[in-house]
Amino acid sequence: MSSTATATKHEDHGHDSHGHGPDAHAHHPEQNFFMKYLWSTDHKIIGMQYLFTGMFMALIGGFTVYAFRMQQAFPGMSIPGYGRVTATDYNALVTTHGSVMIFWVAMPVLIAALGNYLIPLMIGCDDMVFPRLNRLSYQIFLVSVIVLIASFFVEGGAFGGAWTSYPPLSAKAQYNLTPLGAPMWLFAVALEFAAFLMGGINFVTTVMNSRAPGMKMFDVPIVVWSIIIASILFMASVGPLIAGAVMMLFDQTLGTAFFDPNKGGDPVLWQHLFWFFGHPEVYVVMLPAMGIVAEVIATFSRKKLFAYKTVLYTMIGTGALSFFVWAHHQFIAGIDPRMANIFSVTTLLISIPVAEMLFVYIATLYGGSIRLTTPMLWALAFIGEFLLGGVTGIFLGSSGADIYFHDTYFVLAHFHYTFFPIAFIAVFAAMTYWFPKMFGRYMNEAWGKVHFWGTIVSFNFIFIPLFLLGARGDHRRIFDYTHFPDLMKPGMQDLRILATLSLVVLLSFQVIFLVNFFLSMVKGEKAPANPWKSNTLEWVAPSPPPHGNFPEGLPTVHRGPYEYSHPDRQDDYWPQNAS
């Protein structure tokens, strides 16, 4: 950073300290590497820290799935890069894959990284309102990562009770055989929630109080709205799970009687506490993904987003409804069938607002001048793939059909068809779309498309076979199929091998992405401030934005974020801040 820029940065904060309230941070004339990149209160640096930590955790999640899928396809084989998978290893690998991908990849990347990076830039302010709380949030998150990784190496190994951690298996060391792994897993999850609680408070407060002058409620870009709604959902749903986590931790370490049936406790209670959080959680990660897709589609269709307010209201509706669907995870856990009927209805109802969002995006595409750039390809793929995940959810949401499908690979394929589009397809759209803003350079477009096609094709080749297997009754939690001749019928093992080999292909295509990402960061073609000719405020700031974001002065907003191809304008875009 040049000396002028450094001076500007100080000046910018000097006049705007009122925006920071009591949390205003101190400035140092010269920041060393440590202060600038590791101890920073700058929302962009914190966003990057979350992003890179999430990417690192995705490698762990990818490696674990490689190991246990290889065991599925070739039982008993010594797996290259891992060795032989024992039954205990298998449980630990599955658990680690699930919890890492949800809690340490989807959450930090979609909410924390993009929220931190984009919110202040898109609402036109210089930083979050509580920058030090923000830094603390990342630090607690980092501790949770360290605790989780440490739990892989303790005596007994990593926790193996699935990411849902159902008691009594998870509550007693003599059942799960991980006397240290289980409490450490729970502790890591609890720390992570504390971190995101701080982040969520920060996001909502910032958007309510620090928007650029002139930016009214309906001028806020959809992606910011979606992160805000997701943060509110998170804050409202995480409390019962924290209560449950404390209860579980006491059961594990002190021998309390919350979930222990021998002492009069109720194991199904945990399922209610977990899924009361767990189901809104699905929408916590899904809404930001929907928001990203809205931004990308509007920009590359060169067309105003169809029905902005409808998208917003359906997002709020989805969020509200998401608190009333959790018991569809317990259809066969012994809940009252009358209650199962009610939850079937709410579960099927929630597909209406979600379908509405997808229809809105398709309507936005209609008649637009579509540009098939890499981010646009990812956004279009999101619509198609997520649709498949949603449609298969109808089968599982109906309590009658769920009795058959429960705990089969059909369920697994269903939620991977929702979560993979959310946590990877939408995130790739976001990363390729905002890369020029983050690093001031373009990503390589040709390699981006190679990565896109490789990932999408192999993704479908993983999970369509698993749908077929699930429909034939293949149970989800089997370590070695050679013990189950009924499930080794001709064709079934072939489908497993096909899915596993496709997974290996998918993982190897991610190498292309990583190389492209890091090479483009240093060698990519230089990008201007607004490479996609987009309207929202982050494109007003230089690429990459300096500390304080807007060296020209904070922008004033005159219109909504999606005024593309306006008939009165010569340009086909109309930035929010242009007068």
Binding site for another protein (CB under 8 A): 4, 7-8, 10-12, 14-16, 18-19, 21-22, 27, 29, 129-130, 133, 197, 200-202, 204-205, 208-211, 213, 235-244, 246-247, 250, 254-258, 263-266, 269, 272-273, 276, 551, 553-554, 556
Q: How far is the CB of 242 from another protein (least distance, A)?
A: 5
The whole-angstrom separation of Cα 28 and Cα 36 is 10
Nearest to 147 by CA among 156, 159, 136, 164: 159
Q: Which of 411, 509, 415 lies closest to 458 in space, CA to CA?
A: 509
What 8-state DSSP symbol labels residue 353? H
Q: Which residues pair with 89 in a beta bridge?
A: none
Asked whether the beta carbons of 230 and 288 are under 8 A apart, the reply is yes
Q: Shortest distance, CB of residue 262 to another protein, whole angstroms?
A: 11
Smaller CB distance to another protein: residue 204 or 427?
A: 204
How would you class 264 by CB atoms within 10 Å of its CB: exposed for 0-12, middle for 13-18, buried for 19 or more? exposed
Between 29 and 81, CB nearer to another protein: 29
Which residue's CB is nearer to another protein, number 14 or number 81?
14
Q: 258 or 386, CB closer to another protein?
A: 258
Minimum distance of another protein from residue 393's CB (angstroms): 26
Q: Kindly tell me which of 4 and 570 has the beta carbon lying closer to another protein.
A: 4
Q: In angstroms, what is the minimal distance from the CB of 549 to another protein?
A: 12
Instruction: State the DSSP string of 446-474.
Output: HHHHHHHHHHHHHHHHHHHHHHHHHHTT-
Nearest one of 433, 105, 407 to 293, comparing CA atoms: 433
* Closer residue to another protein, CB minimum distance, 19 or 544: 19
- In whole angstroms, what separates CA 194 from the centre of its chain? 17
DSSP-based three-state secondary structure for 545: coil
CB nearer another protein, residue 216 or residue 371: 216
d(CA 266, CA 261): 6
327 close to 278: Cβ distance less than 8 angstroms: no
Q: Is 149 or 325 the residue whose CB approaches another protein more closely?
A: 325
Q: Which is nearer to another protein, 234 or 459 (CB)?
A: 234
| Whether 446 contacts 519, CB under 8 Å | no
Alpha-carbon span 208 to 58, nearest angstrom = 32
Contact 417, 464 (CB under 8 A): no
Residue environment code for 453-484, b if the CB has 16+ CB neighbours within 10 A, otherwise e: ebbbebbbbbbbbbbbbbeeebebeebebeee
The least CB distance from residue 337 to another protein, in Å, is 16
CA–CA gap between residue 374 and residue 248 (Å, rounded): 45
- From the CB of 102, what's the least distance to another protein, in Å? 20
State the nearest-atom distance from the C-beta of 114 to another protein, in Å.
Answer: 20
Q: Which lies closer to another protein via its Cβ, residue 194 or residue 345?
A: 194
What are residue 178's phi and psi, to 5 degrees? -125, 75
Q: How far is the CB of 4 from another protein (least distance, A)?
A: 8
Minimal distance, residue 60 CB to another protein, in Å: 29
Q: Closest distance between another protein and the C-beta of residue 223, in Å?
A: 20
Nearest by Cα to 127 from 449, 571, 558, 549: 549
Q: Kindly state the smallest distance separating residue 229's Cβ from another protein, in Å.
A: 14
Cβ closer to another protein: 452 or 550? 550
